[in-house]
Structure formats: structure tokens, C-alpha cells
């Protein structure tokens, strides 16, 4: 069963983002190479798909990994344990992740 990305967001999050003009939510495909090459990007929260990992590596952007399924677990583990350019925040779709957990990983990545 597929889940909608909006199911993962806190209630009212989209409206708050629009009202505050502090961020951008993209519901469709976004050009990853263009985004990752932007000078304001300091880290990338990713599911750990192979293409995402390669694009992040090629642009020198560290990864905060949140693998969901399949090979994503191995990809995140490779980037974290062997290459040292990733920190893992959680594993899987059913796990609970507190905002403090994500803030902690962002702090680690951005030092």
C-alpha cells in the first residue's frame, strides 16, 4: 500500500510553510542535480536510493539517511561506515522519528 507524503507531515505543516515563506514543499519530481548543486544546500535528507546517493556524492553534499526498503539500507550503511559522508536518522516506514532526532543529525552533519 502506497502512502502519500502528506500523511507523514504534521497537521497544518503545509499551511504554516506557505504562510511563513521559510521553505518550499515539492510534491512532484524535482531536479536533484540542480537542487544539490545550489550553494545554499548543506545536507540532504534522503531515503538512500542509489541515484540519490551518487548525486549527493558528486555534488559533495553530506547525507542524512532514512532508508525505507530494499537496497537503501545497504547504501546508507556504505556511505556512513565506509565513506563517512552520511549519518542515519532512522530505518523503515513504521519507525517514529522525533524532530529532536533529526535536529541532532543535522547538527552532526553541519558541525
- The tens digit of pLDDT for each residue in 9-42 reads 888 888 898 899 887 777 788 888 899 999 999 9
How many CB atoms sit inside 10 A of residue 47's CB? 16
- CA-wise closest residue to 76 among 89, 61, 93: 89
Q: Give the model's confidence band at 5: pLDDT under 50 very low, under 70 low, under 90 confident, else very high.
A: low
Q: Please tell me whether residue 63 adopts helix, strand or coil conformation.
A: strand
- The tens digit of pLDDT for each residue in 45-101 reads 999 999 999 999 999 999 999 998 899 999 999 999 999 999 999 877 767 788 898
**Alpha-helix runs per DSSP H in the chain:** 13-20, 32-36, 50-58, 72-77, 99-110
Q: What is the pTM of this model?
A: 0.75
Distance CA 34, CA 80 (A): 24
Q: Which domains does the chain have, with CATH numbers?
A: 30-110 (3.40.50.2000)
Q: Cα dist. 25→18, 61, 86 in Å?
A: 9, 20, 23
End-to-end CA distance of the chain: 38
Amino acid at each position: 500500500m502506497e502512502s502519500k507524503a502528506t500523511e507523514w507531515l504534521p497537521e497544518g505543516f503545509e499551511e504554516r510553510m506557505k504562510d511563513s515563506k521559510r521553505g518550499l514543499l515539492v510534491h512532484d519530481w524535482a531536479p536533484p542535480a540542480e537542487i544539490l548543486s545550489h550553494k545554499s544546500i548543506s545536507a540532504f535528507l534522503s531515503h538512500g536510493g542509489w541515484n540519490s546517493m551518487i548525486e549527493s556524492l558528486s555534488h559533495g553534499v553530506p547525507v542524512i539517511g532514512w532508508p525505507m526498503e530494499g537496497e537503501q539500507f545497504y547504501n546508507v550503511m556504505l556511505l556512513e561506515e565506509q565513506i563517512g559522508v552520511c549519518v542515519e536518522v532512522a530505518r523503515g516506514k513504521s519507525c517514529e522519528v522525533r524532530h529532536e532526532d533529526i535536529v541532532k543529525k543535522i547538527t552532526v552533519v553541519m558541525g
